[in-house]
Amino acid sequence: MLTGSRSSCRGSSPDTRARPIPGTGGSPRFLEDVGGLARENNLALLNLAASLLGRGESYVEVGSFKGLSLIAAMLGNAGDFVGIDDFSLGGGNRRRLDANLRRYGLAGHTILEGDAFTLLRQGALGARRVGVYYYDAAHDYRSQMRGLRLIEPYLADDALLIVDDTDWNQVARDAGLPRGAAAGRAPRDA
Ligand SMILES: C[S@@+](CC[C@H](N)C(=O)[O-])C[C@H]1O[C@@H](n2cnc3c(N)ncnc32)[C@H](O)[C@@H]1O
Protein backbone atom coordinates (compact mmCIF):
# COMPACT_ATOMS: atom_id res chain seq x y z
CA MET A 1 0.00 0.00 0.00
CA LEU A 2 1.39 3.38 -0.98
CA THR A 3 0.30 6.36 1.01
CA GLY A 4 0.94 10.06 0.84
CA SER A 5 0.94 11.98 4.08
CA ARG A 6 -0.84 15.12 5.10
CA SER A 7 1.75 17.15 6.87
CA SER A 8 -0.52 20.00 7.90
CA CYS A 9 -3.19 17.78 9.34
CA ARG A 10 -6.28 19.93 9.74
CA GLY A 11 -5.43 22.16 12.67
CA SER A 12 -4.53 20.55 15.97
CA SER A 13 -2.97 17.11 15.84
CA PRO A 14 -5.65 14.49 15.24
CA ASP A 15 -5.67 11.07 16.84
CA THR A 16 -4.21 9.04 13.99
CA ARG A 17 -4.46 5.63 15.67
CA ALA A 18 -6.63 3.15 13.81
CA ARG A 19 -10.05 2.98 15.43
CA PRO A 20 -12.87 0.47 15.12
CA ILE A 21 -15.12 1.35 12.23
CA PRO A 22 -18.26 2.93 13.67
CA GLY A 23 -21.44 0.93 13.18
CA THR A 24 -19.73 -2.42 12.68
CA GLY A 25 -19.23 -3.26 16.34
CA GLY A 26 -15.59 -3.78 15.36
CA SER A 27 -16.71 -7.15 14.06
CA PRO A 28 -15.04 -9.15 11.30
CA ARG A 29 -18.60 -10.20 10.39
CA PHE A 30 -18.86 -6.82 8.71
CA LEU A 31 -16.46 -8.12 6.05
CA GLU A 32 -18.45 -11.33 5.56
CA ASP A 33 -21.80 -9.54 5.48
CA VAL A 34 -20.81 -7.11 2.76
CA GLY A 35 -18.43 -9.38 0.89
CA GLY A 36 -15.31 -7.96 -0.68
CA LEU A 37 -11.60 -8.15 -0.87
CA ALA A 38 -10.22 -5.57 1.53
CA ARG A 39 -8.83 -6.56 4.93
CA GLU A 40 -9.79 -5.11 8.29
CA ASN A 41 -6.64 -2.99 8.70
CA ASN A 42 -7.13 -1.45 5.23
CA LEU A 43 -10.73 -0.62 6.09
CA ALA A 44 -9.73 1.00 9.37
CA LEU A 45 -7.14 3.07 7.49
CA LEU A 46 -9.76 4.26 5.00
CA ASN A 47 -12.15 5.17 7.79
CA LEU A 48 -9.45 7.15 9.56
CA ALA A 49 -8.35 8.84 6.34
CA ALA A 50 -11.92 9.87 5.50
CA SER A 51 -12.34 11.29 9.01
CA LEU A 52 -9.55 13.75 8.13
CA LEU A 53 -11.27 15.19 5.05
CA GLY A 54 -11.09 18.96 5.04
CA ARG A 55 -14.04 21.24 4.43
CA GLY A 56 -15.28 20.94 0.85
CA GLU A 57 -13.05 17.95 0.09
CA SER A 58 -14.11 14.62 -1.34
CA TYR A 59 -13.23 11.00 -0.75
CA VAL A 60 -12.90 9.25 -4.11
CA GLU A 61 -12.25 5.57 -4.64
CA VAL A 62 -11.65 3.60 -7.81
CA GLY A 63 -12.82 0.02 -7.41
CA SER A 64 -15.87 -0.13 -5.15
CA PHE A 65 -16.93 -3.69 -6.05
CA LYS A 66 -19.62 -4.66 -3.49
CA GLY A 67 -19.07 -1.56 -1.39
CA LEU A 68 -16.85 -2.79 1.43
CA SER A 69 -14.22 -0.05 1.20
CA LEU A 70 -16.75 2.70 0.46
CA ILE A 71 -18.90 1.67 3.41
CA ALA A 72 -15.83 1.56 5.67
CA ALA A 73 -14.81 5.04 4.53
CA MET A 74 -18.27 6.51 5.04
CA LEU A 75 -19.33 5.04 8.37
CA GLY A 76 -19.25 7.70 11.06
CA ASN A 77 -17.78 10.29 8.67
CA ALA A 78 -19.31 13.32 6.98
CA GLY A 79 -18.41 14.66 3.56
CA ASP A 80 -18.67 14.00 -0.14
CA PHE A 81 -18.03 10.38 -1.11
CA VAL A 82 -17.59 9.00 -4.63
CA GLY A 83 -17.19 5.39 -5.72
CA ILE A 84 -16.15 4.44 -9.25
CA ASP A 85 -16.51 0.98 -10.77
CA ASP A 86 -17.13 -0.59 -14.14
CA PHE A 87 -18.27 -3.82 -12.45
CA SER A 88 -15.95 -5.85 -14.65
CA LEU A 89 -15.04 -8.16 -11.75
CA GLY A 90 -17.37 -11.13 -11.37
CA GLY A 91 -19.68 -10.98 -8.35
CA GLY A 92 -19.84 -7.21 -8.24
CA ASN A 93 -22.69 -5.22 -9.70
CA ARG A 94 -24.49 -1.95 -9.14
CA ARG A 95 -27.55 -3.50 -7.50
CA ARG A 96 -25.44 -5.31 -4.93
CA LEU A 97 -23.34 -2.22 -4.23
CA ASP A 98 -26.42 -0.06 -3.71
CA ALA A 99 -28.07 -2.70 -1.49
CA ASN A 100 -24.99 -2.98 0.72
CA LEU A 101 -24.73 0.79 1.14
CA ARG A 102 -28.43 0.95 2.03
CA ARG A 103 -28.01 -1.85 4.55
CA TYR A 104 -25.60 0.33 6.49
CA GLY A 105 -27.95 3.30 6.27
CA LEU A 106 -25.64 5.26 3.97
CA ALA A 107 -26.86 7.86 1.52
CA GLY A 108 -25.71 11.00 -0.27
CA HIS A 109 -22.77 9.36 -1.99
CA THR A 110 -22.18 9.30 -5.75
CA ILE A 111 -21.52 6.16 -7.77
CA LEU A 112 -19.88 6.69 -11.15
CA GLU A 113 -20.34 3.62 -13.27
CA GLY A 114 -17.88 2.94 -16.07
CA ASP A 115 -14.19 2.76 -16.84
CA ALA A 116 -12.43 4.91 -14.26
CA PHE A 117 -9.70 6.09 -16.61
CA THR A 118 -12.22 7.28 -19.18
CA LEU A 119 -14.42 8.88 -16.52
CA LEU A 120 -11.53 10.73 -14.87
CA ARG A 121 -10.15 11.87 -18.23
CA GLN A 122 -13.61 13.14 -19.21
CA GLY A 123 -13.85 15.20 -16.04
CA ALA A 124 -16.53 13.13 -14.32
CA LEU A 125 -15.49 14.48 -10.91
CA GLY A 126 -16.41 18.01 -11.96
CA ALA A 127 -15.11 20.69 -9.59
CA ARG A 128 -14.41 18.29 -6.73
CA ARG A 129 -11.26 18.67 -4.65
CA VAL A 130 -10.11 15.25 -3.60
CA GLY A 131 -8.76 15.03 -0.05
CA VAL A 132 -8.57 11.24 0.07
CA TYR A 133 -8.07 9.01 -2.96
CA TYR A 134 -8.19 5.23 -2.78
CA TYR A 135 -7.17 3.27 -5.86
CA ASP A 136 -8.18 -0.39 -5.70
CA ALA A 137 -8.82 -1.39 -9.32
CA ALA A 138 -6.41 -3.21 -11.66
CA HIS A 139 -3.30 -4.18 -9.69
CA ASP A 140 -0.57 -3.62 -12.21
CA TYR A 141 2.00 -0.86 -12.30
CA ARG A 142 0.70 0.82 -15.44
CA SER A 143 -2.89 0.99 -14.18
CA GLN A 144 -1.83 2.22 -10.75
CA MET A 145 0.24 4.96 -12.41
CA ARG A 146 -2.67 5.92 -14.66
CA GLY A 147 -4.93 6.07 -11.63
CA LEU A 148 -2.50 8.43 -9.89
CA ARG A 149 -1.85 10.64 -12.90
CA LEU A 150 -5.51 11.08 -13.72
CA ILE A 151 -6.51 12.06 -10.19
CA GLU A 152 -3.66 14.57 -9.84
CA PRO A 153 -5.54 17.61 -11.21
CA TYR A 154 -8.29 17.07 -8.65
CA LEU A 155 -6.12 16.70 -5.57
CA ALA A 156 -6.31 19.03 -2.60
CA ASP A 157 -2.92 20.41 -1.55
CA ASP A 158 -2.27 17.87 1.18
CA ALA A 159 -4.33 14.99 -0.15
CA LEU A 160 -3.85 11.47 1.13
CA LEU A 161 -3.34 8.83 -1.57
CA ILE A 162 -3.84 5.16 -0.84
CA VAL A 163 -3.07 2.57 -3.52
CA ASP A 164 -3.81 -1.05 -2.77
CA ASP A 165 -1.35 -3.83 -3.55
CA THR A 166 1.63 -1.73 -4.61
CA ASP A 167 3.72 -4.45 -2.94
CA TRP A 168 2.77 -7.12 -5.44
CA ASN A 169 5.80 -8.54 -7.16
CA GLN A 170 4.46 -7.80 -10.62
CA VAL A 171 4.16 -4.11 -9.66
CA ALA A 172 7.73 -4.02 -8.34
CA ARG A 173 8.98 -5.78 -11.45
CA ASP A 174 7.24 -3.40 -13.85
CA ALA A 175 8.48 -0.41 -11.84
CA GLY A 176 12.03 -1.70 -12.15
CA LEU A 177 12.33 -2.27 -8.40
CA PRO A 178 13.72 -5.36 -6.69
CA ARG A 179 11.18 -8.05 -5.74
CA GLY A 180 8.94 -6.87 -2.88
CA ALA A 181 10.48 -3.40 -2.85
CA ALA A 182 7.49 -1.45 -4.12
CA ALA A 183 5.64 -1.27 -0.80
CA GLY A 184 5.41 2.25 0.55
CA ARG A 185 7.61 3.73 -2.14
CA ALA A 186 6.57 6.25 -4.72
CA PRO A 187 7.14 4.95 -8.26
CA ARG A 188 10.23 6.54 -9.80
CA ASP A 189 8.37 8.24 -12.61
CA ALA A 190 5.43 9.40 -10.48
C1 LIG B 1 -10.26 -5.41 -5.91
S2 LIG B 1 -11.87 -4.97 -6.41
C3 LIG B 1 -12.27 -3.68 -5.31
C4 LIG B 1 -12.50 -4.16 -3.93
C5 LIG B 1 -13.19 -3.17 -3.04
N6 LIG B 1 -12.45 -1.94 -2.90
C7 LIG B 1 -13.46 -3.78 -1.67
O8 LIG B 1 -13.11 -3.18 -0.68
O9 LIG B 1 -14.00 -4.87 -1.62
C10 LIG B 1 -11.51 -4.12 -7.89
C11 LIG B 1 -12.72 -3.45 -8.53
O12 LIG B 1 -12.21 -2.59 -9.54
C13 LIG B 1 -13.09 -2.61 -10.63
N14 LIG B 1 -12.35 -2.16 -11.82
C15 LIG B 1 -11.33 -2.79 -12.44
N16 LIG B 1 -10.87 -2.04 -13.46
C17 LIG B 1 -11.64 -0.92 -13.49
C18 LIG B 1 -11.67 0.21 -14.32
N19 LIG B 1 -10.82 0.38 -15.34
N20 LIG B 1 -12.58 1.17 -14.05
C21 LIG B 1 -13.47 1.03 -13.02
N22 LIG B 1 -13.46 -0.03 -12.21
C23 LIG B 1 -12.58 -1.00 -12.44
C24 LIG B 1 -13.61 -4.04 -10.69
O25 LIG B 1 -14.86 -4.12 -11.33
C26 LIG B 1 -13.69 -4.40 -9.21
O27 LIG B 1 -14.98 -4.20 -8.71
User: 92: domain CATH number?
Assistant: 3.40.50.150
pLDDT value at position 1?
57
Determine, yes or no, domain membership for 185.
no
Range of the domain at 117: 27-174
Determine, yes or no, domain membership for 22.
no
Determine, yes or no, domain membership for 146.
yes
pLDDT value at position 184?
53
> Residue 4: enclosing H or E segment and its boundaries?
none
For the chain, the domain total comes to: 1
- List, run by run, the mean pLDDT of 10-residue segments along the chain (190 residues): 47 56 76 83 94 97 97 96 97 96 96 98 98 95 94 97 85 69 49
Determine, yes or no, domain membership for 183.
no
Determine, yes or no, domain membership for 3.
no
Determine, yes or no, domain membership for 81.
yes
Residues in contact with ligand 1 by the CB-under-6-Å rule are 36-38, 62-66, 68-69, 84-89, 92, 115-117, 136-138
pLDDT value at position 150?
98
pLDDT value at position 2?
56
Residue 37 burial (10 A CB sphere; 0-12, 13-18, 19+): middle
pLDDT value at position 35?
86
- Give the single-character DSSP code of 129: E
Determine, yes or no, domain membership for 165.
yes
